[in-house]
A and B are shown apart, each in its own frame.
Chain A
Amino acid sequence: MSSAAAPEINKQTKETVAALGEKYKYGFVTDIEMTRAPKGLSEDTVRYISAAKNEPDWMLEWRLAAYRRWVQMKEPDWARVHYPRIDYQNAYYYAAPKNTPLKKSLDEVDPKLLETYNKLGIPLNEQMALAGVAVDAVFDSVSVATTFTDKLNEAGVIFCPISEAIRDYPDMVRKYLGTVVPVSDNFFATLNSAVFSDGTFVYVPKGVRCPMELSTYFRINASETGQFERTLIVAEEGSYVSYLEGCTAPKRDENQLHAAVVELVALEAAEIKYSTVQNWYPGDENGLGGIYNFVTKRGDCRGDRSKISWTQVETGSAITWKYPSCILRGDDSVGEFYSIAIANHYQQADTGTKMIHLGKNTRSRIISKGISAGRAQNTYRGLVSVHARAENARNFTQCDSLLMGGQCGAHTVPYIESRNSSARIEHEATTSKIAEDQLFYCQARGLGAEEAVALIVNGFCKEVLQQLPMEFAVEAQKLVGISLEGSVG
């Protein structure tokens, strides 16, 4: 568990999430001069991005192979999400603030960018920030600042933009990139492999407990631009790291595509805890605008006794298509998935996980809390698969849906596949609504209707909120309440 790391969570994280816990206030646009790749997607676009990043040839070839694969692939249609056809030629695939030096110290960062992150509640100035959380700030297609790199370097932890890692640690990146989510994995992952622009690379050496929480704040700013970040985290034998990502975007009438890939590799007895607060712009109350969030996240428990834990609070995006998964390859490895997905107004969420049990004595736990309000559709889709040699594999799944109002939908699609007779899989699902007597009881004791809803929904989500670092959980509760504003009449 993260007991040693949790107290390290500092005020900065707290403030950041506190800021998230208010009405969508990240809708602002930073007016900054941008460099963009020409509109549309072609081999030239891929070459442009690679050149802009000053990448080695192998990386370009890797991207081109992905691109060639992608043009032959079909966009998946099995999820319960509906959206107009995306015109992949009518978007920008690369946008970077001008005058961003490749290797930058904070002094060199454009003050407008620093101000943007300050507005988001993420001070990048190390003197101002209390120690405890190192931040990588990704603005559209580039990382604009990374804090505390020196302190982390002392511990041997590499925490840097992936574009830098490709240049500075090519062997390490080549060894792991695409090994968890192969280039050809799925339509959106392949697209990402071709055009990914920035993201975070984390390497924790053998036996090291990362001395602070790591976090990345993703910000989409430019219009008509997709964001395709790529994150790779490698935890060597016996190491531990806790990583947190937050996402925001301006309010716009258009839909913008976000297709990220996250790969986690946990070697023997290593543990990776990955938390997400996804608060991309969800669109307005009539369903106009919002981010299309098509994300592939997968962790590979490659070593014995390794552990990967995903915790997600998904409140944003017009469409969420996301299944953070664990491949439990090592014997005695552990996978966890804790999820809160809130869909209000016209949001559509299709999210869940895959737990693939390959090794002996592997264990997984899935706790999913879905909340639907307004006219939203919220689907849990999950797979628990136990392969023939996964002796004594164990899974427990609890999947609860809460409906608020008679015009939304809550759906549960679990797949349970077992090919080992000693394995044990248990799945439970419930569907409920906020009972009128619960609301009245709270109101009769003085709570306003929306406060009462927030309280009851937070109770419903408690098991997941508890998984977040403590101070963070307190603030995340506010976000839960805010996301449901306007859902009670």
Chain B
Amino acid sequence: MLEIKNLHVSIGGKEILKGLNLSITAGQVHAIMGPNGSGKSTLSYVLAGRAGYDITQGSITYNGEDLGALPPEARAAKGVFLAMQYPVEIPGVTTMMFLKSALNAQRRARGESELDAIGVLKTVRRKAAALNVSEEMLKRALNVGFSGGEKKRLEILQMSLFEPKLAILDETDSGLDIDALKLVAEGVNALRDPARAMLVITHYQRLLDYIVPDRIHVLAGGRIVAEGGKELALELEAKGYDQIVKDAA
């Protein structure tokens, strides 16, 4: 589904990713772990198409298509979803209104019929209940005044609503206490699907106790330096990044 080859990415002329290779097939959950500054967020932004992240070399192929050439909204319509580390606040736009606009924009881009307000409302309500997202939250302006946990739950609600093919979760565990983390993880696990790939980006192993990955990649200095099964997370936890990076070198 996703094939990243020798990816070099620069921000403002400074190279952050330096030849990254990664391949994920449908139905799999991969985790990217790495220390601060290793390029984790850069990878998530470049996959979602944020401006200012220049691909200087290499390629990102998504279902046979060059992902790098598409604007962010086209990627979303084709099923790429990024749950952001810091979801953005948009004053005056209610959460419900945003969900409807985004959902219908994606449907429109895919040539599907738009859903009416009632239809969206029903779907959102059903999915929101499972994630403990209250009716009141849906009426508030998007992410404005939301707690860290509320923001992350809303990200997962969007993932559940948009039903992406490739979901990238960027530090979804940051800022969550253990109960909130469990709730979010349950939401994510419920969305595991043979047709869906997930890329879980995290600094800590603890998220991977709840979302168990098929494969773990360690990112350091803009490259994948180690790979392995889920047991690699424990090794990382025990040895620390420094040691793993050294071992790999």
A and B touch in the complex (CB under 8 A): yes
In the bound assembly, the distance between CA atoms of A407 and B93 in angstroms comes to: 26
Across the interface, do A440 and B72 meet the contact criterion of CB distance under 8 Å?
yes
B102 at the interface (CB under 8 A from A): yes
In the bound assembly, the distance between CA atoms of A459 and B92 in angstroms comes to: 4
Contact pick for A448, options B49, B51, B73, CB 8 Å: B73
A462 at the interface (CB under 8 A from B): yes
Point out the residues of chain B lying under 8 angstroms from A463, CB to CB.
92
Across the interface, do B92 and A446 meet the contact criterion of CB distance under 8 Å?
no
Most buried by B among A448, A449, A461: A448
B71 at the interface (CB under 8 A from A): yes
Across the interface, do A461 and B92 meet the contact criterion of CB distance under 8 Å?
yes
Across the interface, do B93 and A447 meet the contact criterion of CB distance under 8 Å?
no
In the bound assembly, the distance between CA atoms of A438 and B48 in angstroms comes to: 14
Given contacts A459-B90, A460-B91, contact A443 B98 (CB under 8 A): no
Point out the residues of chain A lying under 8 angstroms from B72, CB to CB.
440, 443-444
Point out the residues of chain A lying under 8 angstroms from B81, CB to CB.
444
Across the interface, do B76 and A446 meet the contact criterion of CB distance under 8 Å?
yes
Across the interface, do A445 and B162 meet the contact criterion of CB distance under 8 Å?
yes
Most buried by B among A444, A455, A463: A444
B105 at the interface (CB under 8 A from A): yes
Across the interface, do A441 and B84 meet the contact criterion of CB distance under 8 Å?
yes
- Nearest CB in chain A: distance from B101 CB, A: 6
Point out the residues of chain B lying under 8 angstroms from A284, CB to CB.
none
Contact pick for B101, options A435, A437, A451, A462, CB 8 Å: A451
Point out the residues of chain B lying under 8 angstroms from A444, CB to CB.
48-50, 72-73, 75-76, 81-82, 84
Q: B101-115 CB contact bits vs A (8 Å, 1 = yes)?
A: 111011001000000
Residue of A nearest to B73 (CB): A443
Given contacts A436-B51, A443-B72, contact A448 B90 (CB under 8 A): no
A184 at the interface (CB under 8 A from B): no
- Nearest CB in chain B: distance from A258 CB, A: 31
Contact count A vs B, C-beta below 8 Å: 83
Across the interface, do A443 and B76 meet the contact criterion of CB distance under 8 Å?
yes
Point out the residues of chain B lying under 8 angstroms from A456, CB to CB.
90, 93
A420 at the interface (CB under 8 A from B): no
Q: A461-483 CB contact bits vs B (8 Å, 1 = yes)?
A: 11100000000000000000000
- Nearest CB in chain A: distance from B159 CB, A: 10
Point out the residues of chain B lying under 8 angstroms from A447, CB to CB.
73, 101-102, 105
Point out the residues of chain B lying under 8 angstroms from A383, CB to CB.
none
Residue of A nearest to B78 (CB): A446
B88 at the interface (CB under 8 A from A): yes
In the bound assembly, the distance between CA atoms of A451 and B97 in angstroms comes to: 13
Across the interface, do B90 and A446 meet the contact criterion of CB distance under 8 Å?
no
Given contacts A438-B90, A441-B84, A451-B101, contact A446 B77 (CB under 8 A): yes
Number of interface residues of A (CB under 8 A): 24
Point out the residues of chain A lying under 8 angstroms from B73, CB to CB.
443-449, 452
Across the interface, do B88 and A443 meet the contact criterion of CB distance under 8 Å?
no
- Nearest CB in chain A: distance from B49 CB, A: 7
Most buried by A among B48, B90, B98, B103: B90
Point out the residues of chain A lying under 8 angstroms from B1, CB to CB.
none
Residue of B nearest to A451 (CB): B105
Majority SS of interface residues in chain A? helix
Point out the residues of chain B lying under 8 angstroms from A2, CB to CB.
none
In the bound assembly, the distance between CA atoms of A452 and B142 in angstroms comes to: 13
A91 at the interface (CB under 8 A from B): no
In the bound assembly, the distance between CA atoms of A445 and B142 in angstroms comes to: 13
Point out the residues of chain A lying under 8 angstroms from B102, CB to CB.
442, 445-447
Residue of B nearest to A452 (CB): B73
Across the interface, do B162 and A455 meet the contact criterion of CB distance under 8 Å?
no
In the bound assembly, the distance between CA atoms of A446 and B102 in angstroms comes to: 6
In the bound assembly, the distance between CA atoms of A440 and B76 in angstroms comes to: 11
Point out the residues of chain B lying under 8 angstroms from A462, CB to CB.
92-93
Point out the residues of chain A lying under 8 angstroms from B91, CB to CB.
459-460
B87 at the interface (CB under 8 A from A): yes
Within 8 A of B (CB), among A419-438: 435-438
In the bound assembly, the distance between CA atoms of A438 and B50 in angstroms comes to: 11
Most buried by B among A443, A451, A463: A443
Q: B60-83 CB contact bits vs A (8 Å, 1 = yes)?
A: 000000000001110111000110
Within 8 A of B (CB), among A213-271: none
In the bound assembly, the distance between CA atoms of A458 and B102 in angstroms comes to: 15
Point out the residues of chain A lying under 8 angstroms from B93, CB to CB.
455-456, 458-459, 462
Residue of B nearest to A443 (CB): B72
In the bound assembly, the distance between CA atoms of A448 and B158 in angstroms comes to: 17
- Nearest CB in chain A: distance from B46 CB, A: 12
In the bound assembly, the distance between CA atoms of A461 and B92 in angstroms comes to: 7
Given contacts A445-B158, A445-B162, A446-B162, contact A440 B50 (CB under 8 A): yes
Across the interface, do A458 and B92 meet the contact criterion of CB distance under 8 Å?
yes
B232 at the interface (CB under 8 A from A): no
In the bound assembly, the distance between CA atoms of A449 and B105 in angstroms comes to: 11
Residue of B nearest to A445 (CB): B102
B141 at the interface (CB under 8 A from A): yes
Residue of B nearest to A441 (CB): B88
In the bound assembly, the distance between CA atoms of A329 and B188 in angstroms comes to: 62
Residue of B nearest to A460 (CB): B92
In the bound assembly, the distance between CA atoms of A337 and B106 in angstroms comes to: 38
Within 8 A of A (CB), among B88-146: 88-93, 97-98, 101-103, 105-106, 109, 141-142
Point out the residues of chain B lying under 8 angstroms from A437, CB to CB.
86, 88
Point out the residues of chain A lying under 8 angstroms from B103, CB to CB.
446
Given contacts A443-B76, A446-B73, contact A459 B141 (CB under 8 A): yes
Across the interface, do A445 and B76 meet the contact criterion of CB distance under 8 Å?
yes
Most buried by B among A437, A441, A449, A455: A441
In the bound assembly, the distance between CA atoms of A442 and B77 in angstroms comes to: 12
In the bound assembly, the distance between CA atoms of A443 and B101 in angstroms comes to: 11
> Mind listing 11 A-B residue pairs with CB under 8 Å?
A435-B88, A437-B86, A437-B88, A441-B84, A441-B88, A442-B90, A444-B72, A445-B76, A447-B105, A449-B73, A455-B93
In the A-B complex, the 6 residue pairs with the closest CB atoms: A459-B92, A459-B93, A446-B76, A443-B72, A446-B106, A462-B92
Q: Which residues does A use to contact B, with CB under 8 Å?
A: 435-438, 440-449, 451-452, 455-456, 458-463
Task: Contacts A440-B48, A445-B102, A459-B92 known; list 17 others, CB within 8 Å.
Answer: A438-B90, A440-B88, A441-B88, A443-B71, A443-B73, A443-B76, A444-B49, A445-B105, A446-B106, A447-B101, A448-B73, A448-B105, A455-B93, A455-B97, A456-B90, A459-B141, A460-B92
